[in-house]
Amino acid sequence: MLMMLGDDVLMMPSARRIEVFTGSGRRRKWNSELKAQIVAESYATSVGDAAARHSLSKTQIFTWRRDAQRAAEAAGFARVEVDDAGAAAVMQRGLIEVRLRGASVSIEPGADPAMVTAILMALRAAR
């Protein structure tokens, strides 16, 4: 509610809420590598823990997770080459080996699918 004191002077009788902003007020820029790392952390611990550790909202991390999932789904098919000698060794150990852009990840049986997805998305984003 505003009160008129004169022809061009306005006064508010009392303030009920005051917000103080500190810092530069600019948006933070997160590179793809750091986003992927934070998303992977959120799968390893919890979204709340990762958000608190990086001063983010949980909503932001869920948005990054959704964006990473959409990017992974849009990737489509990749060409796979099977080396007969290597395939036999991998099958004996029960491992899955993924090579992506010069990096290699070995996945053991029983690995958490969410963790594997987060690691592969982080690896894909980092390269």
C-alpha span between 41 and 64 (Å, rounded): 12
Reported as a single tens digit per residue, the pLDDT across 49-107 is 999 999 999 999 999 999 998 888 776 777 777 777 665 555 556 788 888 777 888 88
Q: Are 38 and 54 in contact (CB under 8 A)?
A: yes
**pTM of the shown model:** 0.43
Q: For position 38, what pLDDT does the model report?
A: 95
C-alpha span between 30 and 82 (Å, rounded): 37
C-alpha span between 122 and 38 (Å, rounded): 9
Q: For position 13, what pLDDT does the model report?
A: 62
Query: Within 10 Å of residue 34's Cβ, how many Cβ atoms?
Result: 13
Kindly state the tokens that stand for 126. 């980092």
